[in-house]
Amino acid sequence: MKPALTNHASLSSYAIGFACSMVLTLASFLAAPALGAFGIPFIILSALAQLMVQLVCFLHLGRDGEWNIQLLIFTAVIIFILVGGTLWIMSNLAHLHTHEAAPAELYENGIVAPQNELH
């Protein structure tokens, strides 16, 4: 007989998830005054940790065969390309706009000048 959809749900998984999420949330909010400059990476890592906690404890990821992990990984790749690509292109655009060159200086020896290349 096929197992029920909710087979992996249990009170302990929701309670543990809730408790860990609260701890991580509080830690993030207190990170700035407590950690100084290290607060920024801490907040990001804490968010990623809480993502994992909620994926496993609330969404029971990975315990019903691997198809939902595969979809998740595919989505992560798409997001990496979209967000990463956006940030890369926009930062290049910002750089070009702040270091505006006269049209004649855009090219050197027939090719795009190095400072106007994509970096």
Partner 1 sequence: MNHTLKDHVPFGLWAYIMSDCVLFACLFAAYAVLHTETAAGPSASLLFDRSFVLIETFILLASSFTCGLAVLAARARNTAGVWAALLATLVLGLAFVGMEVHEFTGLIAAGHSWRESAFLSSFFTLVGTHGLHVLVGALWMLALFVYLALRGLDERVSRRIFYFSLFWHFLDIVWIFIFSLVYLLGTFSI
Q: Which residues bind partner 1 (CB under 8 A)?
A: 2, 4-6, 9-11, 13-15, 17-18, 21-22, 25, 28-29, 31-32, 36-37, 39-40, 43-44, 46-47, 50-51, 54-55, 58-59, 64, 67-68, 71-72, 74-75, 78-79, 82-83, 86-87, 90
Smallest distance from the beta carbon of 100 to partner 1, in angstroms? 18
Smallest distance from the beta carbon of 97 to partner 1, in angstroms? 12
Q: Rounded CA gap, 90 and 74, in Å?
A: 24
Smallest distance from the beta carbon of 95 to partner 1, in angstroms? 13
Residue among 40 and 113 whose Cβ is closer to partner 1: 40
Residue among 10 and 115 whose Cβ is closer to partner 1: 10
Smallest distance from the beta carbon of 96 to partner 1, in angstroms? 15
Residue 59 corresponds to which amino acid? L
What is the full DSSP assignment across the chain? -PPPGGGG--HHHHHHHHHHHHHHHHHHHHHHHHHGGGHHHHHHHHHHHHHHHHHHHTT-TTSS-SHHHHHHHHHHHHHHHHHHHHHHHHHHHHHHHHT---GGGGEETTEE-GGGS--
